[in-house]
Amino acid sequence: MSHSLHRSGDIESQKKDFVWFMYQTKGVNDKNIKPKMMVYINAAERQGSENWGDVKTGPITRFDPQDIKDHITDKSRIRGVFTKPEQVIGFLKEVKEADIDQSCIITGVFSEVIPCCHAAGVTPHSINYSLGVWGNKGILPDEDTLAITTMCGHHMIPPKFVEYIIDQVDKGRMTPQEGADRLSTFCYCGIFNQVRCADLIAEDVEKRRNKKDE
Amino acid sequence: MAQIISEKCVGCRQCQKYCSVDAIKYDAEKRKCYIASDECVDCYVCMRQHVCPRDAIQPVEMDYYQQFCHTMSDPCENHGVTGVTGRGTEEVKTNDVTGRVKKGRVGFCIDVGRPGAGCRFYDVEKIAMAIAAAGVKLEGPECTPLAALMTDVSTGKLQDEVLNYRTLSVIIEGNCADEDFPNVMRALQKVSGEIETVFSLGLIMRVDENGYNPNLEALDDLGIPRPYRGKVNVGLGKPLCLD
């Protein structure tokens, strides 16, 4: 799975977007992991992780965080989102200190993520580098839509629903943040960045209005 | 697989905007919606969002290959062999423990159909066979779901029966020696012009403390922009593999 890897859109916007994961290795350290997951969740909550979830239950934007915690099993996968480097640094320091043998991953723009690693005293081991999209790109939605839909790398967010939300915001029926929160419920993993999404929706609506005025 | 029970559908068309691949169609003559079974990827977004006010969208029984496609398309499902949700592979996320991609090797994580285009397995086969011929050792079924559909993991050939099936995306995984890396990238550049769909390409490498690997230099010669984002495994897993 590489669902946090290939986010697109303006790089400056991507710089405010960090995905964190805890990952167990099958057959090595994947039993009785709920206490370890709680270490990660507690650290993420202390740092103000804007969204997080377990794919087996869903994200905090749709479910009560306590419900998600109560339903954690060895098959769970927890992950979430930060929007600021300080959060990433604090989170990494805390999970390093806890020393609980689980793999930890941060996805984001290298110019932001690598300095966070240095500041937290952790050393990158391996990287899955995003080389972007190849092939028949003419069949894809426009770049503005992709900047939103790729925040759920499993592509659970239908492009037509993004169009619908932008239309609703444009008509004043919801705010950009309400639209972003609604879109975040499609991503069961909890890695959708609804803070960044609200900014993108506001920009898209402005573009649309400017186009109408032309 | 999902279907819309025609007798229950009131033709409100609310469901159409919830389809990840535009497979919910409207029959203007009958004033009913229906799911184009050849285009549906069984992601179940329409069912999980409970979009139908009449509960007309229902799952239907799936054959073996449809079940595979559903498991790939729906991230809530765990793959039966790897035990992993999402697209069913741990890839770089546990490389600090598994050492699947070691120093001197480059890992390939080719997500065919992403973002959101979907793919048929004949395109998946084309890509897998192209990189295998160029020097990639494809991952086996213990690590990656796609291998279960291969008749020969050394060539990337898939079972003929699956070639026309469609899924939201599926990952081809493998790795090659550093010296074969430029050749594999050239093979990917060539095959990317021969497929109907798209793929998102991830390259997995062991890195230094600054996130660098010398193989990145080869991208310049191939005219491929250097990556600016990625998934960084920060090396906290244990036992730590330093190979």
B84 and B195 co-located in one domain: yes
Listed by number, the residues of chain A in 123-182 with a beta carbon closer than 8 Å to a beta carbon of chain B are 123-137, 139-141, 146, 149-150, 153-161, 163-164
A30 and A87 co-located in one domain: yes
d(CA A113, CA A85) in angstroms, rounded, equals 8
**A126 falls within a domain:** no
Q: What is the DSSP letter of B194?
A: S
B213 and B159 co-located in one domain: yes
> B239: cis peptide before it, omega within 30°?
yes
**A134 falls within a domain:** no
Distance from CA of A206 to the nearest CA of B (A): 22
B36 within 8 A of B56, measured Cβ to Cβ: no
Pick among A129, A161, A163, A165 to test the B interface (most B CBs inside 10 A): A129
Distance from CA of A177 to the nearest CA of B (A): 20
B95 and B44 co-located in one domain: no
Closest CA to B56 of B8, B111, B117: B8
A116 and A156 co-located in one domain: no
d(CA B128, CA B134) in angstroms, rounded, equals 10
Nearest to B171 among A2, A122, A137 (CB): A2
d(CA B105, CA A177) in angstroms, rounded, equals 44
pLDDT for A1 equals 47
Element (H or E) spanning A14, and its range? helix A11-14
Listed by number, the residues of chain A in 195-214 with a beta carbon closer than 8 Å to a beta carbon of chain B are none
- Chain B residue numbers touching A102 (CB-CB < 8 A): 236-237
Nearest to A128 among B49, B92, B240 (CB): B92
Q: B157 to each of B100, B131, B138, B143, how far by Cα in Å?
A: 22, 11, 11, 17
B8 and B55 co-located in one domain: yes
pTM assigned to the model = 0.94
Nearest to B198 among A2, A55, A137 (CB): A137
**B73 falls within a domain:** no
Interface check for B153 against chain A (CB to CB < 8 A): the answer is: no
Model confidence over A40-66: pLDDT tens digits? 999 999 999 999 999 889 999 999 999
Amino acid of residue B149: L
Element (H or E) spanning B183, and its range? helix B181-191
Per the structure, the count of domains in chain B is 2
pLDDT for B85 equals 57
Q: Which residues of B115-133 are buried (b: 16+ CB within 10 A; e: fewer)?
A: bbbbbbbebbbbbbbbbbe
- Which residue range is the domain that position B166 belongs to? 78-221
Contact A126 B210 (CB under 8 A): no
- Which residue range is the domain that position A49 belongs to? 11-120
d(CA B240, CA B243) in angstroms, rounded, equals 9
Nearest to B203 among A105, A129, A161 (CB): A129
pLDDT for B190 equals 98
B82 and B173 co-located in one domain: yes
How many other C-beta atoms can be found within 10 angstroms of the C-beta atom of residue B137? 16
Q: How far apart are the first and last CA of chain B?
A: 43
Contact B198 A133 (CB under 8 A): yes
Contact A126 B205 (CB under 8 A): yes
Distance from CA of A212 to the nearest CA of B (A): 24
d(CA B94, CA A47) in angstroms, rounded, equals 24
pLDDT for B124 equals 98
pLDDT for A3 equals 78
Angle CA B241–B91–B219, to nearest 5: 95
B114 and B44 co-located in one domain: no
Contact B115 A140 (CB under 8 A): yes
Contact A126 B239 (CB under 8 A): no
How many other C-beta atoms can be found within 10 angstroms of the C-beta atom of residue B155? 14
Contact B204 A129 (CB under 8 A): yes
Contact A2 B205 (CB under 8 A): no
How many other C-beta atoms can be found within 10 angstroms of the C-beta atom of residue B215? 19
User: For chain B, which ranges sit under pLDDT 70?
Assistant: 77-92
Nearest to A25 among B195, B199, B237 (CB): B237
Contact B204 A56 (CB under 8 A): no
ipTM of the complex: 0.96
B176 and B145 co-located in one domain: yes
Distance from CA of B202 to the nearest CA of A (A): 5
A181 and A97 co-located in one domain: no
Closest CA to A105 of A6, A7, A23: A23
Closest CA to A123 of B207, B64, B108: B207
pLDDT for B194 equals 98
A94 and A181 co-located in one domain: no
**A6 falls within a domain:** no
Contact A126 B169 (CB under 8 A): no
Model confidence over B94-114: pLDDT tens digits? 999 999 999 999 999 999 999
User: For chain A, which ranges sit under pLDDT 70?
Assistant: 1-2
- Chain B residue numbers touching A14 (CB-CB < 8 A): 229
- Chain A residue numbers touching B95 (CB-CB < 8 A): 103, 125-126
Distance from CA of B161 to the nearest CA of A (A): 24
**B69 falls within a domain:** no
Interface check for B76 against chain A (CB to CB < 8 A): the answer is: yes
Residue A104: which CATH number? 3.30.70
DSSP, residue by residue, B48-104: HTT--TT--EEE----HHHHHHHHHH-TTSPPTTT--STTS--GGGGHHHH-SS-TT
A140 within 8 A of B198, measured Cβ to Cβ: yes
**A67 falls within a domain:** yes
User: Is B228 in a helix, a strand, or coil?
Assistant: coil
pLDDT for B89 equals 67
d(CA B59, CA B129) in angstroms, rounded, equals 34
**A184 falls within a domain:** yes
d(CA B104, CA B182) in angstroms, rounded, equals 14
